[in-house]
Amino acid sequence: MTKEPSLFEEDYIPTGGAGFGEPLLPVSIDDVLDVLAHRTPYDANCRDAGYWFNQIVANSNLAELPITVVAEIVHNAAAHNDGSHVQMRRYLESILNEEGLI
């Protein structure tokens, strides 16, 4: 007869977590905007556009809008550095700076 697996975390060897692994590298706002615009697939810490999109939505009032609208707004603001998107681009930069994400 075999014993059932334990449900207690203490009975297992730790496999990593907070504080383990490589230290995070500095990432600039331009690096994040490049990832959000899909010019590069990852930043220096191997975080993709989904990670940064979630961080921006979670730390702003953009969550009140439909997700497809937010995705289009964020992508266009990151991808285009022209007059039509300059205010939204500044807003993204302020979210990243104020929330300590960068």
More confident residue, 35 or 25: 35
Task: Reply yes or no on whether the pLDDT at 28 is more than 70.
Answer: yes
CA distance 44 to 23: 11
The residue whose two tokens read 């961080």 is: 55
Chain-centre distance of CA 69, in angstroms?
A: 18
pLDDT at 3: 66
For the segment 74-92, the average pLDDT, to the nearest whole number, is 88
pLDDT band (50, 70, 90) for residue 52: very high
Q: Which two tokens stand for residue 91?
A: 């807003």
As a whole number, the mean pLDDT across the chain is 83
Q: Where are the domains of the chain?
A: 26-98
Task: Reply yes or no on whether the pLDDT at 47 is more than 80.
Answer: yes
pLDDT at 23: 78
